[in-house]
Amino acid sequence: MKSLQEQIGYNLKSIRKMRQYSLDQLSAVTGVSKGMLAQIEKGQSSPTVNTLWKIANGLGVSFSSLVEEETSGISVVRREEKSALQDVNDKYHVFPYFPYDQQKKFEVFLLELLPGCRHVSQQHLSGAEEYLFVSEGEMAVSIGDDYYELVKGDSMNFTANREHVYENKTEAVSACFLLIYYP
């Protein structure tokens, strides 16, 4: 198991190599000296929080991407282990399955719409796209003046740059997986 110092070095070097930056280029975008960056990558220096923030901001990555441990490449999400974020009327439940990843540019949620649910979702950042995969029941989706009825097994995608509404007009729970892509 790597120490935190070694993990930071490994992650920084991986990101730098992926972007094909030299240490000089990395120094230019982060404002951290080339020597300090080399020491961090080798695990010979324990950077301060401020230094890590400079690096993260310069690279346009999350702070946690520099400190998180390497995974096996396999992630199992169990519904019963997830807590829902709920809308004020307690009929719209959002389970964050895979959080936003800067490199992959998407996040995945399970949405549950209880009977009678009507959830208005505000417009997202320009260019954001939503991909819905209905896994249970029936739901209606309105995007502006356009209206769509979806049933289990249906899917749709749309540019989410305007207000959109999810509705469950049935007496049973409806659910879908939602992938949001950010360009």
Residues 6+ apart with CB under 8 A from 25: none
* pLDDT value of residue 118: 94
Starting at the earlier edge strand, list the strands of the sheet with 118-121: 118-121, 164-167, 138-143, 146-151
pLDDT digits (tens, 9 = 90+) for 129-166: 999 999 999 999 999 899 999 999 999 999 998 999 99
* pLDDT value of residue 40: 94
Using alpha carbons, select from 94, 143, 95 the residue that is nearest to residue 122: 143
**Confidence (pTM):** 0.61
Q: Across residues 55-79, what is the average pLDDT?
A: 78
Chain centre distance of CA 124:
14
Residues 60-87 as b or e (16 or more Cβ within 10 Å = b): ebeeebbeeeeeeeeeeeeeeeeebeeb
* pLDDT value of residue 98: 83
Has residue 71 got a pLDDT over 70? no
Ramachandran quadrant class, 177 (left: phi over 0; alpha: psi -120 to 50; beta: rest): beta
* pLDDT value of residue 27: 96
Exposed/middle/buried for 94, CB within 10 Å: 0-12, 13-18, 19+? middle
Has residue 177 got a pLDDT over 90? yes
